[in-house]
Amino acid sequence: MTRERVLVVGLGEVGRPLYELLRESGKFDVYGYDLDENKMREIEQPANFPEKFDVMHICYPCVDQEQFVNVTIDYMNKFKPKLTIINSTVAPGTTQKIYEKTGFLVVHSPIRGMHKSLETMKRDIMFWSKYIGGVKPEATELAKKHFEKLGLKVKILKSPLETELAKLFETIYRAWMIACFQEMHRITRHFGADFNEVVDMIEDIHRVHFNKPLHYPGVIGGHCLIPNTELLLKVYDSEFLRLILKSNEKRKKEIEDENIRNEVEKIKKRVEALEKELLKGIIKNP
C-alpha cells in the first residue's frame, strides 16, 4: 500500500513536534518546509520535493488574516495537496475564505499544547483530542482518517468557524481571568489589604467546587494569549477584549514596583502549590 505523502509547512514550536510525530509513526512519507534554512538543515530535508502531496499541514502563525490567506493559497498552489490542514490559530472565517478562493479541500484543526519544550509539545499533541472543522464533509473525513492513523483522538465540529472560535476562546479565556486578577490586585492595594489573604477564600471554594481557579496577576506573556486577543479584536470590535490589553499594558508598568512584584510572586507560589495538590488528588482518586 502506498503511504501518504505529508508535508509540514512551518517548523517552529507547532510544526516541528508535529513533523517528528508523523516521522516517528512510520506510517507516512514526511517532508518539512520552512523559510528558515537552519530549520530545514536540522531535519536534513532534501532539496527536492514531490510534485504533489496527500496532506499539507499549515503550522505558521496568523498575525494578519488577509496575509495568512494569501500565503496559504500560494503554498496550496505550489505543493498541490489533496487536503490542507490548518493547525494555526486563525481569525474566524479564515479557513472558509481560503476555500472560497481556491475550491481546494481544507480543514481547520488547531494544535493544543504547552510550548515548554519539543517533547512536552509532542506529548500534548498526542494527549488532547484533535478538533476538526472542515469546509466539506469530504475534507473532514480525510482529516479524521489522517489523524486517527497517527493515533490521535478526534472530535468533529460543524464547520471551521467553530474550531477557529474555540481555539481563540480557549486561550483568551485565560487572558480574561488573569486580567480580572490584575484588577482585583489593584483594588486590594487601593484599600491597603493583603491580596494573598484575600484570595484564600477563593481558593477555599475552588478546592470543593472546582469553579473558581486562581490566577496570579502578573504580566500576560507567551505566544498565545495577547496575540490571540489582538487577532480577534481585528475582526470583532470588543471593549472587553480591549480591557485585557489595557490592563496588561498597565501591569507592565506596575510590575516595576518591587512590592507589587513580591505580592504577585506570593500568588504565583500559591497557584502552583494548589495546582500540584489538586493534581495529586485527581491521580489518587481518578
- H-helix or E-strand containing 192? none
128-187 pLDDT, tens digit per residue, is 999 999 999 999 999 999 999 999 999 999 999 999 999 999 999 999 999 999 999 999
Q: Is the pLDDT of residue 43 over 90?
A: yes
Q: What is the mean pLDDT of residues 225-240?
A: 98
The pLDDT assigned to 277 comes to: 84
12-33 pLDDT, tens digit per residue, is 999 999 999 999 999 999 999 9
One-letter amino acid for residue 178 of the chain? I
Q: Is the pLDDT of residue 283 over 60?
A: no
Between the alpha carbon of residue 238 and those of residues 28, 169, 242, 243, the distances in Å are: 43, 13, 6, 9
Mean model confidence pLDDT for the chain: 95
Q: Residue 142: exposed, middle, or buried by beta-carbon count in 10 A (0-12, 13-18, 19+)?
A: buried
Q: Which of 143, 172, 164 is nearest to 155 (CA)?
A: 143
Full set of structural domains in the chain with CATH: 4-158 (3.40.50.720), 164-284 (no CATH)
The span from the CA of 217 to the CA of 181, in Å, is 5
Q: Is the pLDDT of residue 285 over 70?
A: no
Q: Is the pLDDT of residue 47 over 90?
A: no
The pLDDT assigned to 57 comes to: 99
Q: What is the mean pLDDT of residues 240-248?
A: 98
The span from the CA of 165 to the CA of 91, in Å, is 8
Q: Is the pLDDT of residue 37 over 60?
A: yes
The span from the CA of 166 to the CA of 100, in Å, is 22
The pLDDT assigned to 276 comes to: 86
